[in-house]
Amino acid sequence: MTNTAQVPPSGGRAAPPEHLSHVIFITAAAAMGGFLFGYDSSVINGAVEAIRSRYDIGSAALAQVIAIALIGCAIGAATAGRIADRIGRIRCMRISAALFTVSAVGSALPFDIYDLAVWRIIGGFAIGMASVIGPAYIAEVSPAAYRGRLGSFQQAAIVIGIAVSQLVNFGILQLANGDQRGKLLGLEAWQWMLGVMVVPALLYGLLSFAIPESPRYLLSVGRVDRAREVLAEVESKDVDLDARVAEIEHAMHREHKSTFKDLKGSRFYFLPIVWVGIGLSMFQQLVGINVAFYYSATLWQSVGINPSSSFFYSFTTSIVNIIGTVIAMVLVDKVGRKPLALVGSSGMAIALAFEAWAFSAPLVNGRLPSTEGTVALVAAHVFVLFFALSWGVIVWVFLGEMFPNKIRAAALGVAASAQWIANWAITASFPSLADWNLSGTYVIYTCFAVLSIPFVLLFVKETKGKTLEEMG
């Protein structure tokens, strides 16, 4: 097949791929790792108080059990890029799916609190792998003109996973008559909440057999004909496949397998672009977004809302998360990454400030006063909306495309690992900080949202419309 038109080096828009629906299927299948990422991250929300009760542990110990999965996430994220360069993206997905499955079964049937912690670490390792492989694979199979929207599938899958986990938790809680420790077929309700993840984990593994390997990986191992076939599946019919293969090979010949040594710079240990990736990853977590998904049920119960209502508000927050993500998917290639980030930072800062004000009110009969309670609920939903339409999506898009080919896999691993470390810090500290001063905790998150604005303005470069080979 010989076509005469070639994708412009500057990243100009090409015609849609002949089989756009097939490209979307490939992307959605790869993003199932993101679904599991979101599901596993959020499902623990429904089990927090039950775990506290069953094992009779305090806030600090409980926080460590909840947050320990994030240590596995950091390790999985840090190693996934190198593993993917050695054995391929698809095999990494299968390993991740297997670990998700094992973790779900083990977490549902723990012998004691330490056993539960081990299974959560294993699940965390799987999440870390998925957080790296998903964006990298999607970026590598997506046509440049559609890469932002297709890259957004990862975050869309994450937020859908969060929403589904909250809906499943709510449904199981209703079957157990509102008791997180209520018995269902011999197991407590919270055990079912953690065990149901077996279903999407198995689906992820099966879908990995239905999608092609990344053309960049195929070329790296000498499978040129197969790489050309995959490019024919995902690129526009107007693209010169021979020229596209040559373009990728030329970029690859200028590089070698990325390692952590390649990330070192002359100052401050890492190259500046790596620090930008680390900064994006950390700001995404330091605004406290995962408090809304790990602890929201516990948070609302602590200010006087009954368990069933707290689970319902957790679910509505997840729906808002989906709406915001859809908005970002529509705008990311039209408006660009930086403008969305700046709008999101501003909106989050305002919403977090209102939450801080609301939680500063003294409780009356164990509840927030009516006005402050309403403001807290509305502000929490607004915060999630602005996060979802900005940082929730654009950070994954940035990390999948901002690094030069020479260091992409290793840099993405380091940035994602930093994200999990920041996530762990927020998750592990929230119960103790909330016991100290809930309003003060939200002031801290507000400060990070404000600081993210000059960070984006000064250090982040727009990547809209550029091919991966131009990120040099």
Alpha carbon distance 153, 214 (integer Å): 17
- Confidence grade of residue 12 (pLDDT, cut at 50, 70, 90): very low
Bridge partners (DSSP) of residue 35 are: none
With residue 346 as reference, give the H or E element that holds it.
Answer: helix 337-359
Helix (H) or strand (E) holding 183: strand 183-184
Number of Cβ within 10 Å of residue 273's Cβ equals 19
Determine the residue type at 22: H
Split at pLDDT 50, 70, 90, the class of 3 is very low
Could you identify the residue written with the tokens 């083990």? Answer: 106
Distances (CA, A) of 98 to 42, 104, 127, 375: 19, 10, 11, 43
Note the residue count of the chain. Answer: 472
What is the average pLDDT across 44-63?
A: 82
Rounded to an integer, what distance in angstroms lies between the CA atom of residue 134 and that of residue 145?
A: 19
Highest mean pLDDT: which range of 30-34, 231-235, 252-256, 307-311? 30-34
Structure confidence at residue 288 as a pLDDT band (50, 70, 90): very high
DSSP 280-329: HHHHHHHT-TTHHHHSHHHHHHHTT--HHHHHHHHHHHHHHHHHHHHHHH
Q: Which helix (H) or strand (E) holds 277?
A: helix 272-286
Across the chain, what does the average pLDDT equal?
Answer: 83
pLDDT at residue 468 tops 90: no
Assign 216 a pLDDT band (cuts: 50, 70, 90): confident
Q: What band does 260 get if pLDDT is binned at 50, 70 and 90?
A: low
What pLDDT does 330 receive? 85
Q: Is the pLDDT of residue 16 over 60?
A: no
Q: Which residues have CB under 8 Å from 69's CB, separation 6+?
A: 40, 44, 120, 121, 123, 124, 127
List, in order, residues 6 or more apart from 411 with CB less than 8 Å away: 258, 263, 271, 273, 274, 277, 403
Count the Cβ atoms, other than its own, within 10 Å of residue 265: 12
Segment 111-134 shows an average pLDDT of 89
Q: Measuring CA to CA, which residue among 160, 186, 167, 193 is closest to residue 49?
A: 193
pLDDT band at 255, cuts 50/70/90? low
* pLDDT given for residue 158 in this prediction: 83
Q: Closest by alpha carbon to 2, among 230, 242, 212?
A: 242
Mean pLDDT of 434-462: 92
- pLDDT over threshold 90, residue 335: no
Question: 63-95: per-residue pLDDT in tens?
Answer: 888 888 888 888 888 788 888 888 989 999 999
pTM of the model: 0.73
Structure tokens, 309: 């209502």
pLDDT of amino acid 9: 41
pLDDT, tens digit, 9 for 90 and up, residues 136-152: 888 888 777 777 778 77
b/e 214-232 (16+ beta carbons within 10 angstroms → b): bbbbbbbeeeeeebbebbb
Residue 363 has pLDDT above 60, yes or no: yes
Beta bridge partners of 184: 187
Task: Kindly state the tokens that stand for 302.
Answer: 């602590």
Closest CA to 15 of 214, 207, 238: 238
DSSP-derived 3-state class of residue 271 = coil
Structure token pair of residue 352: 């977090």
pLDDT category at 198 given cuts 50, 70, 90 is very high
* 157-161, 366-370, 386-390, 426-430: which is most confident: 386-390
Residue type, 438: L
| CA 457 to the chain's CA centroid | 23
Closest of 148, 170, 193, 166 to residue 317, by C-alpha: 166
pLDDT band (50, 70, 90) for residue 8: very low
Q: Are 158 and 38 in contact (CB under 8 A)?
A: yes
pLDDT > 90? residue 448: yes
Instruction: Identify the bridge partners of residue 236 per DSSP, sorted by sequence position.
Output: 17
Pairing of strands 183-184, 187-188: antiparallel
Mean pLDDT calculated for residue range 119-138: 88
Alpha carbon of 196 to those of 123, 178, 293, 315: distances in Å?
14, 18, 18, 17
200 Cα distance to chain centroid: 16
Residue 205's pLDDT is 92
Q: Give the pLDDT score at 471.
A: 56
CA 255 to CA 247: how far, in whole Å? 13
